[in-house]
Structure 1
């Protein structure tokens, strides 16, 4: 029997995180930004990063938290991953969240979360224009070690195309790239995807005619 997960968002005003919180200090943003500005240092951080997931049994629906190093995470695919967090809905909220059907090989009635109209439109565009066989959202937590602490990031989606290429995806507003902190996070996400042997794609708002794809964030 295949277990179908609940498709309603949390309604208590707080986002649901399914993973255990990391203990210890958070690296100051100055250190994170500095690392992202140095291509060699960004690669070093990526290679020593950890990837925490919820590994799911597609038949029973049971899942467990699992921490992987980069070689261990390189073989992950969307169909083995459960979402690591769930967005929140509340009265008066300004962003638009919901669920949409996503392709899967091993799971029935598979769906994923979008946390904004921007994400929803991006996922629809991908499904219409790419030969995607598997896709999941809120797929994993990246954990980057620094001398003074750690920083984490949950990418928006992970998908696989018919040629077997795995792509890690972030969706953002272009204005966010004016923030040095946000830009650093996306640079490190790209470096980590490269270390995993995956593609990385960063997308902004869709224009009237085509998506705004912002992939290469390297400082080289």
Structure 2
């Protein structure tokens, strides 16, 4: 790929904008030698104003999504994409969230421009584990774990029962729930089916990938080993 297209696809500007960067001599190789629009060179060797390029396509990152932020490009209010470098919103292929967390749910969110990987993760056939911690309005009744594990729970307006899920009580009003599906507001609806209400909800893991020390609003790029953890069953 010619360097002009590579840099434009990373969101540094339109082709005209990027041509101006070349004209001003701001695009160089790692040794500081000036580069030109038609050059073909490895991504890792390119510098703009002396700084390495943003990550190449095939980018996967994890974010600790804060409360009050929406997994959308169009909704009013603050969006998860606003937490990333501004030019990343102009990348081609575009970045997309891998599934969604609603505005009132915080926690681990994956974002990628790799469409094949995105669909592999969200495919029902993959049965990728998602682990949530819920704070409830009322004490657990004691029979929720058996119900959720049974594979017979039918949510309101659904036509097929939920796949078995694992519930662990943390305290009388806090629970950790591991699911392998991604139905609309699934965790909230599961507890609603037992007569309870979720007051706070956080996703703490996908597979064996966890939030770690990532603070709300922070993100980091994942390497191949970290991405592989997504497909490992949650502990």
* TM more than 0.5: no
User: Which structure has the highest strand share of the two?
Assistant: 1
TM norm structure 2: 0.24
TM norm structure 1: 0.25
Larger radius of gyration: 2
Higher relative contact order (CA 8 A, sep 6+): 1
